Amino acid sequence: MEPRIGIFDSGLGGLTVFHEVAKSLQDWTLLYVGDTARVPYGTKSKETVTQYALEISRFLVAQQVQALVVACNTASAYALPALSETFEIPIIGVVEPGAQRALALTQNYKIGVIGTEGTVRSEAYPQALRALHPECEVLSQACPLFVPLVEEGWFEDPETEGIARRYLAPLQEAGVDTVILGCTHYPLLKGIIQRVMGLTIHLVDSAEEVARSLSEQLKGHALAQTATPPEHRFFVTDAPERFQRVGRQFLGGESLQKVEKITL
Ligand code: DGL
């Protein structure tokens, strides 16, 4: 059996994480689940998101993945402890790697976190940041309109920029020097966010950080030799055609060959 990593998200956005992990761990076959029937997670309760995350993880563990990546920030913020208690394989979320990277970059220890309502409400990022550096100041801002704007493909539109200015104003006023993009979709708005915040502000992309951290964790993991490049698989809980169509923009234009529909 080829070495496998399971990755999941509430829908399409986690493909940003898939893209980075596929680049960094080229010998691994990736199995991606997008819970497109139940997206969004960002507005749902901790109990509901945890139950969804457990169901998806059970599916992936049954496919014999050797590690699990929780690409969704909301699921990472709410469900990571329950997942780690339930499964024995390494499980990596996006919060811890993002927090570590932000602390490596900041100079004034004023850090902004942007994410879904659920991620902000969970306080997962401020807790992870303060656990590592108790004196840092953290300012969180939910940006719920960013997800639909990205799904619409409005990465560089004036409307998006206007909304970004409004959401990001409190972070600018607070003088943060680092902003964690705490949602799967936000790396696609990096250009606008950087422009609005200013070119000297550090942006932390969770997708890149997870790939880096996972490579570290799996370094030295004995891999079965495979002659052919890995054939990644994509599963969704609804509307595979939409996933295939919109998913391209999350993969830098690469197309998705086949998307399978599953029932959890
Ligand atoms: N994947 C979610 C996250 O990173 C964003 C979309 C949703 O609300 O489900 O928090």
String of DSSP letters for 130-196: HHH-TT-EEEEEE-TTHHHHHHTT-SS-HHHHHHHHHHHHHHHHHT-SEEEEESTTGGGGHHHHHHH
62 Cα: distance to centroid of ligand 1 (angstroms): 24
Q: Is the CB of 128 under 6 A from ligand 1?
A: no
Q: Is the CB of 41 under 6 A from ligand 1?
A: yes
pLDDT over 70 (residue 170): yes
Computed from CA positions of residues 133, 134, 139, 141, in that sequence, does the dihedral angle turn out positive or negative? Answer: positive
**Within 10 Å of residue 1's Cβ, how many Cβ atoms?**
8
Alpha helices in the chain (DSSP H): 15-24, 46-62, 73-86, 95-105, 117-122, 124-132, 146-151, 158-174, 190-197, 206-218, 240-247
pLDDT over 60 (residue 55): yes
pLDDT over 90 (residue 34): yes
Q: Scanning the structure block, which residue is given the tokens 């920029």?
A: 161
238 Cα: distance to centroid of ligand 1 (angstroms): 16
**Which ligand 1 atom is at minimum distance from the Cα of 183?**
4
Residue 252: per-residue pLDDT: 82
Residue 217: per-residue pLDDT: 86
By annotation, the residues acting in catalysis are: 72, 183
Buried b (16+ CB within 10 A) or exposed e, 55-72: ebbebbbeeebbbbbbbb
**Which ligand 1 atom is at minimum distance from the Cα of 94?**
4
Q: Is the CB of 9 under 6 A from ligand 1?
A: yes
What is the spatial distance between Cα 59 and Cα 235, in angstroms, rounded to a whole number?
10
Nearest residue by C-alpha to atom 1 in ligand 1:
72
Q: How wide is the angle at C-alpha 15 spanned by C-alphas 12 and 20, nearest 5°?
A: 165
pLDDT over 70 (residue 175): yes
Q: Is the CB of 73 under 6 A from ligand 1?
A: yes
Which of the residue ranges 12-26, 112-126, 221-235 would you say has the lowest mean pLDDT? 221-235
pLDDT tens, position by position, 93-116: 999 999 999 999 999 999 999 999
**Which ligand 1 atom is at minimum distance from the Cα of 9?**
1
Cβ atoms of 131 and 200 closer than 8 Å: no
What is the spatial distance between Cα 215 and Cα 19, in angstroms, rounded to a whole number?
14
Share of the chain above pLDDT 90, in %: 84
Q: Is the CB of 74 under 6 A from ligand 1?
A: yes
Give the bridge partners for 141, in sequence order. 114
189 Cα: distance to centroid of ligand 1 (angstroms): 14
Q: Scanning the structure block, which residue is given the tokens 């979709």?
A: 185
Residue 227: per-residue pLDDT: 55
Mutate to test the pocket of ligand 1, among 7, 45, 73, 152 (most ligand atoms within 8 A of CB): 73
What is the spatial distance between Cα 28 and Cα 136, in angstroms, rounded to a whole number?
37
78 Cα: distance to centroid of ligand 1 (angstroms): 12
pTM: 0.93
Cβ atoms of 21 and 213 closer than 8 Å: no
**Within 10 Å of residue 52's Cβ, how many Cβ atoms?**
25
213 Cα: distance to centroid of ligand 1 (angstroms): 21
Q: Is the CB of 49 under 6 A from ligand 1?
A: no
* Cα dihedral 223/90/18/194 (nearest 10): -130
Nearest residue by C-alpha to atom 2 in ligand 1:
72
